[in-house]
Structure 1
Amino acid sequence: MVQKKMNYSLYSSSNNTHKVNSSVDNSIFLPTQSYKKIKTSLENLEKSRGKIVHIVGAPGTGKSTNIFKALDELNLNVYEISTSLSNPQARSKEVFCALIKDLKESLGVATKEEAYKKLSKYDVVLFADQFHDKHLLKKDVIGFSLWTRNVGFKSMHFYLICIREFIKHQKEFRKINIVFQTAWRVRFRGKKYDLFTDFGVFSRIILKILGKLSHVVEIKYNTSETISIVKAHFKDVDEKKIRKYIKKYGCKPRFILQELENEK
């Protein structure tokens, strides 16, 4: 678990040079309309409890970038959930137990009820890269997204366990604000897609349902915003080249930045 100020280091590889996983990685940032919506959604959490916010967006749109920038600017007291799995084929119950075990150990408590009570002291409990992509941050561990990729739709049972836990401990969860960096990744013909954003009407229906249960903010950019974001990192790049990559990837700045980085 990572408490405020979330000062763990940027991971960098050939595929992730421009991926942000903490507030200290946002040395170059361009506010967009999506960012303003996120900041507005989070700014009242300090004085409220029991709120659930889902930040959704297709891969490459910068969910981490926007979340950490907003949390840092708002100076919220944040507790980031982190868990590591060792078995890529673990059952959902085992994954849930590992999450609770890590939570209790990090907070120095004996029961999950005590852990929930401690979490209520924070403005935000965050599920982001330290939970989803821990395998990219640390060697020899399995992050949640890698686990779901391995077990497929069997991971649905994990969500059912979480819903049951939420219902069972409603009293405790009414005192906790939770922010989810939310993605449901699927692969099709070698490309990565997000179930919440990349499947047209079907995605809209899912987001509508999710919005009935919580507050949802979708990160998306227009062409002009995408060009501005890319130029903030590569000032001399030709706009025609950026538009070529937009045609290839859509308005997903991280993928475009990675292409330009590889060209160096």
Structure 2
Amino acid sequence: MNVPSDNRIFVETKTYLKLKGVLDNLKNSRGNIIHVIGTPGTGKSTNIYRAIDELGLKVYDVECNLKDLSATPMEVFNTTIEAVKETLDAKDKREAYRRLSSFDAVLFADRFHDSHLLKDDLHGFSEWTLKSWKTPYFYLLCIREYFKYKEEFKHLNIIFQTAWRLKIGKRKYDIFTDIPIISKILSKILGMIFTVVRIEYTPKETIKIIKAHLKVEEEKIKKYIKVYGCRPRYILERLGGGSHP
């Protein structure tokens, strides 16, 4: 979950500069769909919000405020759309999509995935995906909606903080990045259709990020990298430095 303090200390990386370059094109173009992927703990949202702030993009941040984790994919879809219509004061979906075109981009990130961290009585999309095996059907509903309102979507830019999470034991995995062979195939297919930016770091970049937040010996960081990989947030949590990526 991205909070203002996440961006107070920020280390520019090769991945971030690539993302910033991709988002910079959104001001003067429409019809772009961008998927930002990355294994849990790499700070996808922090990179996204940082780039948006630096570029001064006008973004509509979509929310997913579920009251019940047993909701069907259709109920999740309708809840999200109704919230958009309400905030934009639109009478129907077509009007809502047209009004969204006034923004540089429509963003599906923390307020969509992790709204439960903002409001105690609600559930975010990430919570729902961990409880439901019907996530693929939700994505099919989104694809159907795109083709149904294709003319309206041509005038929108959409940024997805793309995650399909699985929890095995105490550790979270993402099917687009963490599962051998399957992740490679899925991310390649995704990249054939959309613009995909993967948030990932080299060990050197990871060490630099950790040291920007904590005074800790480099050798100690390297030991944690061997255990958790180049996931700054996870390493910082273990070192007692909070959850900043």
TM-score (normalised: structure 2):
0.95
Task: Give the aligned partner of residue 88 of structure 1.
Answer: 69
The separation in 1 between residues aligned to 2:206 and 2:241, in whole angstroms, is: 19
Instruction: Kindly state the Cα deviation for residue 96 of structure 1 after the two structures are TM-superposed.
Output: 1.0
1:1-264 maps to which residues of 2 (within 5 A)? 19-21=1-3, 25-152=6-133, 154-234=134-214, 236-261=215-240
Instruction: Kindly state the Cα deviation for residue 72 of structure 1 after the two structures are TM-superposed.
Output: 0.7
Aligned residues of 1:21 and 1:64 also touching (Cα < 8 A) = no
Q: Which amino acid aligns with 2:30?
A: R
TM-score (normalised: structure 1):
0.89
Task: Look up the SS of the partner of 2:201 in the other structure.
Answer: coil
User: Can you give the 5+ residue segments of structure 2 that lack an aligned partner in the other structure?
Assistant: none
Task: Look up the SS of the partner of 1:146 in the other structure.
Answer: helix
Superposed CA RMSD in Å reads: 1.4
Q: Which amino acid aligns with 2:2?
A: V
Detail structure 1 runs of 4+ shifted over 6 Å in the superposition: none
Q: Deviations over 1:138-192 (max 9, x none)?
A: 101011111111112x121111111111000000000000000011111223321
The separation in 2 between residues aligned to 1:223 and 1:155, in whole angstroms, is: 33
Instruction: Kindly state the Cα deviation for residue 260 of structure 1 after the two structures are TM-superposed.
Output: 1.4
Q: Which amino acid aligns with 2:217?
A: D
Aligned residues of 1:21 and 1:129 also touching (Cα < 8 A) = no
Task: Look up the SS of the partner of 2:74 in the other structure.
Answer: helix
Task: Give the aligned partner of residue 9 of structure 1.
Answer: none
Instruction: Kindly state the Cα deviation for residue 83 of structure 1 after the two structures are TM-superposed.
Output: 2.2
User: Can you give the 5+ residue segments of structure 1 that lack an aligned partner in the other structure?
Assistant: 1-18
Aligned residues of 2:213 and 2:241 also touching (Cα < 8 A) = no
Task: Look up the SS of the partner of 2:11 in the other structure.
Answer: coil
Q: Which amino acid aligns with 2:222?
A: R
Q: Which amino acid aligns with 1:33?
A: K
Task: Look up the SS of the partner of 1:126 in the other structure.
Answer: strand
Task: Look up the SS of the partner of 1:221 in the other structure.
Answer: coil
Aligned residues of 1:21 and 1:68 also touching (Cα < 8 A) = no
The separation in 2 between residues aligned to 1:262 and 1:39, in whole angstroms, is: 26
Task: Look up the SS of the partner of 1:61 in the other structure.
Answer: coil
